[in-house]
Amino acid sequence: MIGADSVVAALKKIDVRHVFGIVSIHNMPIFDAINRDGTIKIIDSRHEMGATHAADGYARATGKIGVVIASTGPGTTNTLTGLYEAGYASSPVLLITGQAETKFYGKHQGYVHESENQLQMLRLVTRRTESPRFASQIEAAILQVANDMMTGRRQPGAIEIPINLQYQETAADAGRFTPAPPATPDQAQVNAAAALIGTSSKTIIIAGGGANHGQGPEVVQQLAEKLNAPVFTTANGRGVLAEDHPLCIGNIYQSRRIHNELIDCELTIAIGTRFQVGVGGAGANQKPPGKLLHLDIDPATLHGVHEAAVALEGDAALCLQLILAQINPESGDPEFTSRIQQAGIAVKQGLRKRIGPDYEGIMDIMRGVLPRDANIVRDSTVPAYNFGNQLLEIYQSATFIGPNSGAIGPGLPLAVGAAIGTNKLTLVIHGDGGFMLHATELATAAQYQVPLIVCVFNDGGYGVLRGLQSREFDGRVAEVNLGFVDFKMFAESMGVPGYNVASLLEFDNAFREAAGRAGPSLLNIDMRKLEPMAGSILP
């Protein structure tokens, strides 16, 4: 075997079924080795950033490591945004990239794609990056990086492999993929947590992304039902509890009305969330009601934004299982729970009224047509913020994905990766401005006939920023109007069926037809022709 075969051997040990990437002179042996082996499928992306986002979507939807293969230098610099987003989202994305021949590496001789500081650059956006100096080190290095990525809070990692090592003969490696088991929570803190729960009858649960792994959703449901406790979710935590479960209030914890109703809450149980702080300090300024019991696998998040009465470090499911074994309380205060449930219904009814009849109808058609286990991916766009993040119900864990960092544009490649990883029908809610950043990945969806519905809500620019600018600068906007693009023609040029939508009826017909197709479809939705949402601003 050669060094490139060692890459394949390592990937098989970490149960990789797909890789995303673009072939180059500095990774050709790796692609050749994957194809010779035949057990891993290569997905040819159209840009390395898109490939990295796709690997991220794959990782979030499957719970496995997502892999991207790029070239040294310009190919690797293109992956940085995707690795940054993956780190923000606690997503295990592994970058495998090339490097100059070892005899030229570090000599500053202008070798093609020379990138002398590539390691330092990658270490800014990964937990661990390795650069072997002999072919015999490649497999072990990949496994070490993978182990670190999957230990504790999941994070991206990278390895660069000089091109001559990829061709160099070597022997098989006996190494194994053995991520460290979750830290066992301190028993004294478990006891304190159980005691705190036992003295509280008015309890709420906030479930974040850390509760969406493994047995987390099942155990959160057990806890909620045992305590009769209302469950709020973060955006990443959506699907931990099905949003048609009576105890699931949803992603509306930051609503002012909700907080007014929580004034007499005695205990907040926060599971797998860091209380992500929004623009202007949103989140940090909103203290959890009552005492705070905080469970998280990352000790850096505990006491980070809000001081906890009791903090437990460990895997969410493991922590909750230990707590559940100790508590046997009577049901929570039914009047308190009912009041929060009614407040949640009222908040959502208000949000429905705000988005208007056309968008309410679009949302209901989406949810009525899609299977319960469909992946729903959203970009940073007006419809996502107005109904996708809160009103469009999510029923299963790990089926709601979006750019955690607030980036514009990752939606389409995230959706491509999620659809390929799960082979489930996948919807992506996009704006036209963000869609243009990775529009070429539609060709990837076409090439592999990915089960994908792309809904491009077209308002001729960056609608979110248009609204922010208008409110901040007395109605003035700048550099946000991009003109209206006919994305139907764009999609059809790539062999993807496209639909121009200018009414609720047209959306209904097009969406149902798209959902019945085996491959990708695109709906170009003209927001100028729809009843506008309250506060929306069009050019």
End-to-end CA distance of the chain: 60
**Cβ 81 vs Cβ 52: under 8 Å:** yes
CATH class of 353-529: alpha beta
What tokens does 256 get?
């002012």
pLDDT digits (tens, 9 = 90+) for 42-67: 999 999 999 999 999 999 999 999 99
Q: Alpha-carbon torsion 83, 405, 522, 77, what sign? A: negative
pLDDT at 445 over 70: yes
Instruction: Convert 406-442 to b/e letters by CB count within 10 Å (16 or more is b).
Output: ebbbbbbbbbbbbbbbbebbbbbbbbbbbbbbbbebb
Sheet of 157-162, strands arranged across: 41-44, 18-21, 66-70, 93-99, 157-162, 128-130
> pLDDT class for 441, splitting at 50, 70, 90?
very high
439/172: higher pLDDT = 439
Residue carrying structure tokens 């702080």: 277
In this prediction the pTM is 0.95
pLDDT digits (tens, 9 = 90+) for 303-339: 888 999 999 999 999 999 999 999 986 668 999 999 9
Q: Alpha-carbon torsion 40, 446, 415, 437, what sign? A: positive
* DSSP secondary structure letter of residue 153: S
Residue of 408, 390, 513, 409 whose CA lies nearest to 400: 390
SS3 state of residue 183 = coil
Superfamily (CATH) of domain 3-167: Thiamin diphosphate (ThDP)-binding fold, Pyr/PP domains (3.40.50.970)
- The whole-angstrom separation of Cα 236 and Cα 413 is 18
pLDDT at 111 over 80: no
Q: Alpha-carbon torsion 137, 140, 142, 147, what sign? A: negative
SS3 state of residue 524 = strand
- Looking at the domain that runs over 187-332, which CATH code has it been given? 3.40.50.1220
* C-alpha triplet 404, 410, 412: angle, nearest 5°: 130
Every domain of the chain and the residues it spans: 3-167, 187-332, 353-529
Read out DSSP for 296-353?
Answer: ES-TTTTTTSS--SEEEES-HHHHHHHHHTT--PPPP-HHHHHHHHHHHHHHHHHHHH
Taking the C-alpha atoms of 209, 212, 215 and 216 in order, what is their torsion angle to the nearest 10 degrees?
50
The yes-or-no answer to whether 3-167 and 187-332 have a common fold is yes
Q: What is the pLDDT of residue 486?
A: 95
